[in-house]
Amino acid sequence: MPRPTEADANRPAPAGAPPDPHTGRSLPPGCELLICVCGGIAAYKTAALASMLVQRGCGVTVAMTGNARRFVGPITFQALTGRPVVTSPWRAAGSGDIQHLKLSETADLILVAPATANIIGKLAGGIADDLVSTLLLGAACPVILAPAMNTRMWQHPAVQRNVAFLRERGFELVGPEEGWQACGTVGPGRMSEPETLLATVREHLLRSKPGSSGSPS
Ligand SMILES: Cc1cc2nc3c(=O)[nH]c(=O)nc-3n(C[C@H](O)[C@H](O)[C@H](O)COP(=O)(O)O)c2cc1C
């Protein structure tokens, strides 16, 4: 099979994707989501979400941090989305585009899932030292963060300060939720389930694309 190229990133989502089995609804036609995956255990849940979105007709492009790639391989997201995964700002997306800017210009929405303490801190602090932090700082569309981290990390005053700062500036957060954590404790910090993230993304896309019911055509 030929290797997908960066130009494949503009390939439309497969037609006729089955609607949400619960609501019978699909996502608005032509919608484009950019998912930024960071280095946390919950990255496996983001793979399930990517599949659900593609099945509902959404075009999904995935960008990963270097640490995210230690948890889930880009090949998983590439296979689920049918698009190359973007991992470096130093490779042009196609026709000389500046990738970290172009990616958010063609997306209706960015979802950061899992959003680590690190990326939350970098975004709040204006740090842009890799692809994901750079594209978030230059985002041309709304950004939703789905934090996931150990309870002590989540409750740390520095993280709470950063979260409050980002909320004030219009970033939406979904979760984290309370529950079992990979470190063996129970408490707040668990990333919201893929179904919850899907519902949040759908709500956003339906709002930003007025006139679209999101129903299957
Ligand atoms: C096994 C393991 C699990 C981790 N899980 C999380 C996590 O859920 N949330 C988090 O904020 N950091 C977690 N970390 C720490 C991050 O990977 C680390 O802060 C890293 O610098 C994040 O980089 P990124 O934000 O660029 O992906 C974990 C680290 C390890 C080794």
Instruction: Indicate whether 25 pLDDT > 80.
Output: no
Atom of ligand 1 nearest to the CA of 117: 11
Distance 160 CA to ligand 1 centre (A): 17
Instruction: Indicate whether 93 pLDDT > 60.
Output: no
Q: What is the pTM of this model?
A: 0.88
Residues having CB closer than 6 A to ligand 1 are 38-42, 65, 67-68, 114, 116-119, 148-149, 153
Domain ranges of the chain: 27-208
Comparing 26 with 151, the larger pLDDT belongs to 151
DSSP for 112-167 reads EEEE-HHHHHHHHHT---SHHHHHHHT-SS-EEEEE---HHHHHSHHHHHHHHHHH
Mind listing the pLDDT tens digit for each residue in 81-92? 999 999 987 776
Instruction: Indicate whether 101 pLDDT > 50.
Output: yes
Which class would CATH give 27-208? Answer: alpha beta
Mind listing the pLDDT tens digit for each residue in 56-72? 989 999 999 999 999 99
Which region holds residue 68: left if phi is over 0, alpha if psi is between -120 and 50, else beta? alpha
Contacts of 148 (CB under 8 A, 6+ apart): 40, 41, 42, 113, 114, 115, 116, 175, 176, 189, 190, 191
* DSSP β-ladder status, 59-64 and 32-37: parallel
Instruction: Indicate whether 5 pLDDT > 90.
Output: no
183 is known as an active-site residue: yes
CB atoms within 10 A of CB 97: 15
From the number of C-beta atoms within 10 Å of its C-beta (0-12, 13-18, 19+), residue 141 rates as middle
